[in-house]
Amino acid sequence: MSGSALEGIGCYSPRDARDRAMWARLQAFCAREPQAFGRNPETGHVTGSAFVMSPDRKCVLLTHHKKLDRWFQLGGHCDGIADVPFVALKEAYEESGLTRIKPLSPQVFDVDIHEIPAGSKECAHLHYDVRYLFQAEAGEIAASGESHALAWVPLAQLEEVTDSPGVLVLREKLEPFLSAYC
């Protein structure tokens, strides 16, 4: 992987076999795909996501995604921007209505590679999703046009709104991450 691609993603400290496998797949994809930060469904693409914690860090802000009809963290396509932490923060602002959000660490929090099902406009493809951890500081939440709703979901109740392993990983990783970097 070129240095510029790594700089556009950031540092990551994989903690287990799943993390190491996801990181290796992301690195290999970026090394072979010149348009990794674009939006080509034929090859898949890098996306940036934000786990936005409540001010007391007991809840995470989730969006009920219109297109996929499921609850997920905030995030979206890089659309050619090779600065994934910026993309994640931009998407968090655009999708949340919050007026101040702070990064809790410059490090990558998680990498999750998952398939997006085919839709009316594009074929099934992979999202190489790079996730960062943030904290809400000000503003009231308001759903964007991409969401049915937004909700502050207590960490202890994540399974009540989603069965997505890519969201449920938050609780498992959060405590050690916060104690190490915040």
pLDDT digits (tens, 9 = 90+) for 129-178: 999 999 999 999 999 988 899 999 999 999 999 999 989 999 889 988 77
Mean pLDDT of 120-124: 86
What CATH number was assigned to the domain covering residues 3-181?
3.90.79.10
Q: What ranges do the domains of the chain cover?
A: 3-181
Within 8 A by CB and 6+ apart from 90, the residues are none
Highest mean pLDDT among 5-9, 73-77, 120-124, 174-178: 73-77
Q: Write the DSSP string, 141-161.
A: ----TTEEEEEEEEGGGGGGT
Question: pTM for the whole thing?
Answer: 0.92
**Nearest of 60, 48, 95 to residue 168 by alpha carbon:** 60
Q: On the CB side of 7, how many CA atoms lie within 13 Å of its CA?
A: 3
Cα 165 to the center of its chain, rounded Å: 13
